[in-house]
Chain A
Amino acid sequence: MSCVLELKNLGFVYGKDTPFEKKAVDNVSLQIEAGEFIGVIGHTGSGKSTLMQMLNGLMRPTAGQVLLDGRDIWENPKKIREVRFRVGMVFQYPEYQLFEETVAKDIAFGPQNQGKQGEELNKAVQSAAAFTGLKPELLGKSPFDLSGGEKRRAAIAGVIAMNPEVLVLDEPTAGLDPMGREVLLSQIVRYHKERHNTILLVSHTMEDIARVADRIMVMNKGKLEMFAPTKEVFSRGAELERFGLKVPQITKIMQQLRQKGFSVPEGVLTVDEAFEALLPLLKKEGRLW
């Protein structure tokens, strides 16, 4: 595996030299391998969003470097657009960026800026729409006539259509109904499996992160407090709680069962895993307690 993104002592200070000066990101260094699925957690104001916006050059770091394939993205500021095509960014509530007459045209905005035309452009739009589960008949409609969930899909498709090597999603499921969250999340997972690109998912829902992430970044007060495999991060529940975070409910239940002396495995992250782990116990004893 090769390292696609590397951060070196990255820092960002808002309002430098004013009374409102605030360190948003403080000396973050890490490496992300190509094809990894990274979860990013941290309470509101922990610097996640600022960090994410520095990854594709929307914000220029006040200290340190962002290396994409080993090259500093700010090496040539005039070519920062190319970095933005390679590192796609889906903002929170991305549906507010829709502006075109039809959904298809809106999805085509990004790839068009890349210089794609004709059949190639059409293909990029179609496949992005398919990945996000937008029905083909919606493509000819005005984006403002869609429902909330459909708008969200259209906006995400607009970024996926650029086929970025690294995709950053900032709380893509916020404000969606449970069914919508579920479907969108599994589509992101499917997209990751098929395209093999790198994904960074910011979320406040620990259950979602636990289900999909290979590794987790934990941010607190602008610092990177942990960057480790998902199971390891969620086995450090006490530390997470200090940062205003929690482990998934099911993980907590299983941990407590372990403490009571039941022989259940450590680091259970999803309900399905818990089900698999508890079933033999129930069969053996006939009942749990």
Chain B
Amino acid sequence: MVRDVSFGQYFPTKSVLHRLDPRGKILMFIAYIVIIFCTFNYVSLGITAAFTLAFLVLSKISPKFYFKSLKVILIIVILTSLLNLFYGSGEPLWQWWIFRITLNGIHRAVFVTVRIICLILASSCLTFTTSPTELTDAIERLMKPLKVVHFPVHEVAMMMSLALRFVPTLLEETDKIMQAQKARGADMESGNLIKRVKALVPILIPLFVSAFRRAYDVATAMECRCYRGGAGRTRMKQIHLSARDFIAFALTALMIGGVIVCNILLTATI
């Protein structure tokens, strides 16, 4: 069912990661993405993987939810690793028809698999431990410099937080509409592709109608509370950097440093 998706959910388990400054978390996450694609040998890959595991343990969230978020992208992982496996350069170890496996291909497949898995785990960790409001708040703050070029930072952030707010609502709604149409004998599990796409119409139309209705309701509710854009708005929750944020920065720097040192000292595997 649609409700089983755990990717992008927030779990308030009150771990140390939950208390970090969301701005810092986003910046560290960006640094992490860059560094995970700069790992060129197994030692540096191992360092990043170890740090990722440490994050997951610190988040105090059941591994089951991380597995669930991995399940969604399983096919992508398999496809990309297979592609990499068969398109490596160098001497073939094994060959059949157009498929040839080389040592380089195996290395590539391992790297790409570990990288994607780490990426998904880390981004799950970020959304699991940061509430949508914190996240958009942080994005708004980080993008503030763009105001100089008249980029509507506040409006974009507000749109994002509204969109995020309605993800679970719309999922629930989809579920309800599906049940109602199934009760009228809608068949969504059998038939060829065209039949299945057609079977979506009775679900999508009511869903769109209700999404528009909700959008109007929210707009009215915001206007009733005198919302008129970002100018002059203050915040209830101020975010501050504290000691634990600096420790987190230091650890991230350690990881980046480790990867760079390994890349310089050791020869690249891929």
- Annotate B196-226 by CB proximity to A: 1 below 8 A, 0 otherwise: 0000011001100110000000000000000
Question: Chain A contacts of B177 at CB under 8 A?
Answer: 96-97
Per-residue CB contact flags for chain A residues 110-137 toward chain B (1 = under 8 Å, else 0) read: 1001100000000000000000000000
| B181 at interface, CB cutoff 8 A | yes
Q: Mark A81-93, 1 if CB is under 8 A from B, else 0.
A: 1001100110100
Contact of A97 among B64, B181, B187, B201 (CB under 8 A): B181
| A133-167 CB contacts (< 8 Å) to partner B | 144, 158-159, 162
Tell yes or no: B179 within 8 A of A by CB.
yes
A113 and B185 in contact, given A53-B179, A91-B180, A96-B180 (Cβ under 8 angstroms): yes
Q: Is the CB of A91 within 8 A of B179?
A: yes
> Bound state CA distance, A114 and B173, in angstroms?
25
B61 to chain A, nearest CB (A): 10
Q: How far is the CA of A85 from the CA of B186 in the complex (A)?
A: 10
Q: Contacts A96-B206, A98-B206: A114 and B185 contacting too (C-beta < 8 A)?
A: yes
How many B residues have CB within 8 A of the partner chain?
Answer: 20
Inter-subunit contact A159/B184 (CB<8 Å): yes
Bound: A91/B184 CA distance, A: 11
Interface contact A97-B185, CB-CB below 8 Å: no
A158 touches B210 (CB 8 A): no
Which residues does chain A contribute within 8 Å of B186, judged by CB atoms? Answer: 109, 113
Tally of contact residues, A, Cβ under 8 A: 24
Given the known interface contacts A96-B206, A97-B206, the answer about A58 and B179 at a Cβ–Cβ threshold of 8 Å is yes
Task: Tell whether, in the assembled complex, residue B185 and residue A162 are in contact, meaning their CB atoms are under 8 Å apart.
Answer: yes
For the complex, give the distance between the alpha carbons of A81 and B191 in Å.
Answer: 14
Where chain B touches its partner, the secondary structure class is helix
B169: interface (CB < 8 Å): no
Interface-central residue, A53, A97, A114, by most chain B CB under 10 Å: A97
A56 with B184, Cβ < 8 A, contacts A91-B176, A97-B206, A98-B206 known: no
Interface residues of A in 67-91 (CB under 8 A from B): 81, 84-85, 88-89, 91
Question: Do A99 and B183 have beta carbons less than 8 Å apart?
Answer: no
B183 touching A56 by the CB < 8 A rule? yes
Which residues of A have CB within 8 Å of B205?
99
Partner of B64, one of A18, A91, A98: A18
B89 CB-CB contact with A under 8 Å: no
Contact with B along A242-263 (1 / 0, CB 8 A): 0000000000000000000000
Question: What's the Cα separation between A110 and B201 when bound, in Å?
Answer: 14
Determine the distance from Cα of A99 to Cα of B262 in the docked complex, in whole angstroms.
60
Task: Assess A96 versus B176: contact at CB under 8 Å? Given A19-B62, A109-B202.
Answer: yes
A96 close to B210 (CB less than 8 A):
yes
Q: In whole Å, how far is A237's beta carbon from the nearest beta carbon of chain B?
A: 34
Query: Which of B183, B187, B209 touches A89 (beta carbons < 8 Å)?
Result: B183
**A222 touches B (CB below 8 Å):** no
Contact with B along A224-242 (1 / 0, CB 8 A): 0000000000000000000
Q: Is the pair A58, B184 in contact by a Cβ cutoff of 8 Å?
A: no
B182 contacts chain A at the CB level, 8 A cutoff: yes
* CA–CA, A94 and B176, complex, Å: 10
Interface positions, chain B 158-188, Cβ under 8 Å from A, are 173, 176-177, 179-187
Residues of B within 8 A of A56 (CB): 183
Residue on B nearest A91 in the bound complex, by CB: B180
A99 close to B201 (CB less than 8 A): yes
List B contacts of A53 (CB < 8 A). 179
Instruction: Give B residues with C-beta under 8 Å from A.
Output: 62, 64, 173, 176-177, 179-187, 201-202, 205-206, 209-210
5 CB contacts below 8 A, A to B, read A18-B64, A96-B177, A97-B177, A113-B187, A114-B185
Query: Measuring CB to CB, which residues of chain A are less than 8 angstroms from any residue of chain B?
Result: 18-19, 53, 56, 58, 81, 84-85, 88-89, 91, 94, 96-99, 109-110, 113-114, 144, 158-159, 162
Closest 6 CB pairs of A and B: A113-B185, A99-B205, A110-B184, A97-B180, A89-B183, A99-B202
